[in-house]
Chain A
Amino acid sequence: MEIALIGNPNTGKTSLFNNLTGSYEYVGNWSGVTVEKKVGVFKNHIGKLIDLPGIYSLNPLSKDEGVVTTYFLEEQVDRLLNILDASQLERNLHLTLQLLEYEKPALIGLNMIDVANNRGIKINTDKLSQILGVPVVPVVARSGKGCDTLIEVISTSSNHSKVKKHVYYGKVIEDGITKLSMELIGKTDHSPRWLAIQLFEGNEYIHRYLSDLIEPNKLVTLVSNLESAIKEENGNIKSLANYIYLKRKKVIEKVLEASVQKVSTIVPLSERIDAIVTNRYLGMPIFLICMYLMFMLTFDWLGTPLSDVLDGILTGPVTAGFEKLLGVIHASDFIHALIIEGLIAGVGGVLVFVPQIFILFFFISLLEDSGYMARVALVMDRIMESVGLNGKAFIPMMIGFGCNVPGIMAARTIETPRERLMTILLTPLMSCSARLPVYAIFVGAFFVGHKALVVLSLYVLGIVVALLLAKIFTKTLLKSEASLFVIELPPYRLPQVQSLWRSTWDKGKGFVRKAGTFIFAGSVFIWLLSYAGPNGLKVDMDDSFLAAIGNLFAPVLEPIGFGTWQAAASLITGFLAKEAIISTMNIIYFVPENASLQGLLSDFYTPLAAYSFMVFILLYIPCLATAATIYKETGSKKWTAFSILYALFIAYVLCLVIYQGGKLFGLV
């Protein structure tokens, strides 16, 4: 049995999915968190549950919404589980009526009962269920309350709506439906009534689907005839879609009247918080202060001490333990060097940053779960508009601070194709967590007094460069004025410790796993390249293959401050994964005993060169996984290549300006 979760955005579908399947998919308090279809299996194995992006209606505007319509048209759904936000019933029911027209077994999960109660909204679920003809189960997806009942109802009843026509659209439309249904006899498995109504509403996807079954001309004339008939009949109706909407609205008003009671009106706390964070003048400063605090905690107050402790353990007891073990098993010199100089230096060098990465992810999760995300988009819209984007594009960028890949995926919620493409191209400029170890090492070595400030400057630089490029792209490559900004601002929700931890862990896990697999293999490979050379094994590192490869590129990097083969070699590995930069450096600059990489770096870099290096790392290339995602999302080799090339170009030019300019001003 396949059950699909459908509902408005941000109504708690994914929370419920996680609860029912025991999986962990991405949850956040804004609209458009889920952008792809996700499949899970019920904990009690009664069937498969499909999580889908949130939609307001089956007539999509953006790509993530299109995913749902395509799903409806192309796949076999056995049952629909419609999730409603109990505190926003009126708006949610428009979708419900469309789903019931689909004429598949359905049931309703009435979520956010707690929120509705707090607002003084009382819902009579029996009455609601009676009117709609399908079971209605109240749940609180966040805590799992009511989930048992929901599962019971799913597995027992058949859930075919007992009511046949929920909305009577008037004679003209109903005749139109009949007419189309006649044409469709024997041609489709879908409900003809549903197809017809969606077509009349102007659903492009349905139009395309029907065009394969019926002569396109016929469709067009049918719809335009209907539209003029309706307009003639009702003077104030602007379009067919509008007419259908109003008909549904009438029905919904009746439903609500019968089943909902408003006990009292309470001003939610949310609005009082909004008075501050989206204040005219305080909005932007508050955002910057939040970012600054986040970096202070990550790089200064909390993260660095923790990393130092971990570093102490890895270079001390862990290394000593391995040494001993290797001694006991009489390992050959080769194996000894591979483990100590390759793996421990490479993998350990990355693992050291786990505390800092987790702190950063904690803040990102906090941002996502609290409801602040959509507010930032609102605060940023004015600036984004001036460069030809809209505030919504800032959400993918902020997700990109964690990892660029989900950031690029999140761009699906942006409605206009031009803005979406631009967001996809620019999100890689956001400094992802994999770049963080590089900053941590370099600021620790060169900018001890101003760690957080220097790192903040890099993050802000990433944003500024992205905005400037957006402006340039708007003026040259992607000309068009179309821009759309309407954003739903969800109420603030106090994040729960447990869900916060889970979402932090889920993101951080990826980092640890990558260190154990990708970076592990990479470290072995890099170490071998540094161990072997044209003249055999165990060569001096300057004569190794790695040095030879690095030396090819080193001269090019000379003008921007770090023309060493070591830097070049680590940049090359950085394309595979940005974490690999630090593991490569740890292997290359391997220092036995307790001297640290940080101490050693000052022999190779000046502070100015170090800053230039960090800027280069920030901008120079999307990593392999990101490039693959760009290709997947744009479906274009050209744009993927472009995203790599423009980044290289911008990084080089900017570093040239910083390094040469800095030298002119006497900085070193």
Chain B
Amino acid sequence: MFGSFKAGEKGKIINISKVGRLVQRRLLDLGITEGSEVCVKCVMPFGGPVMIESCGQCVGLRRKEACLIEVERI
């Protein structure tokens, strides 16, 4: 799961449907959806947001939403 990822680790999204509808839409807009390869760039302290990268595009999203994304390590 994404929640356990540390900065620098990579994975491939296998299920994003548990995330809220709006967040899912926004991620989709940014080209992040099932099948996308993502890399965690940094994780803010105190349960803050995470910054992920996909296709050269960096995106910030909240930890609790990131945790709902199912990812397999690659």
Contact = CB atoms under 8 A, between A and B. Distances in A.
Interface of A: 56-57, 61, 87-88, 90-91, 119, 238, 245, 268, 270-271, 274-275, 278-281, 283, 374, 377-379, 381-382, 385, 391, 415-416, 484-491
B60 A56 contact: no
Contact of B59 (A238, A281, A489): A489
B44 A486 contact: no
B29 A271 contact: no
Q: Which 3 A-B pairs have the closest CB atoms?
A: A56-B29, A382-B48, A489-B58
Contacts of A491: 58
Contact of B49 (A56, A119, A485): A485
Contacts of A490: 58
Contacts of B29: 56-57, 91
Given A88-B31, A275-B42, A379-B48, 20 more contacts: A56-B29, A57-B29, A61-B25, A61-B26, A91-B55, A245-B28, A271-B53, A274-B41, A274-B42, A280-B42, A280-B44, A382-B45, A382-B46, A391-B60, A415-B26, A484-B23, A485-B62, A488-B30, A489-B51, A490-B58
A415 B27 CA distance: 14
B47 to A, nearest CB: 7
B55 to A, nearest CB: 7
A275 B40 CA distance: 12
Nearest to A245: B28
Indicate the size class of the contact surface on chain B: 20 to 34
Nearest to A283: B44
Interface in B18-74: 20, 22-23, 25-31, 33, 41-49, 51, 53, 55-62, 65
Contacts of A279: 42
28 contacts: A56-B30, A61-B22, A61-B26, A88-B55, A91-B30, A91-B57, A238-B17, A245-B28, A271-B53, A280-B44, A281-B45, A283-B44, A377-B60, A378-B44, A378-B49, A381-B60, A382-B46, A385-B62, A391-B60, A486-B27, A486-B30, A486-B59, A486-B60, A487-B60, A488-B30, A489-B58, A489-B60, A491-B58
A87 B56 CA distance: 8
A119 B41 CA distance: 18
Contacts of B25: 61
A484 B22 contact: yes
Contacts of B17: 238
Contacts of A88: 31, 55-57
A391 B45 contact: no
Contacts of B20: 484
A279 B44 CA distance: 7
Contact of B44 (A61, A268, A382, A488): A382
B44 A381 contact: yes
A416 B33 CA distance: 22
B60 A485 contact: yes
B61 A486 contact: yes
Contact of A119 (B30, B31, B53, B56): B56
Contacts of B43: 280
Contacts of B41: 271, 274, 278
Given A87-B56, A88-B56, A278-B42, A378 B31 contact: no
Nearest to B46: A382
A274 B56 contact: no
A663 to B, nearest CB: 37
A32 to B, nearest CB: 12
Nearest to A8: B29
B56 to A, nearest CB: 7
A90 B60 CA distance: 19
A12 to B, nearest CB: 16
Contact of B45 (A119, A245, A280, A487): A280
B22 A415 contact: yes
B26 A486 contact: yes
B30 A274 contact: no
A87 B57 CA distance: 9
Nearest to B43: A280
A377 B61 CA distance: 11
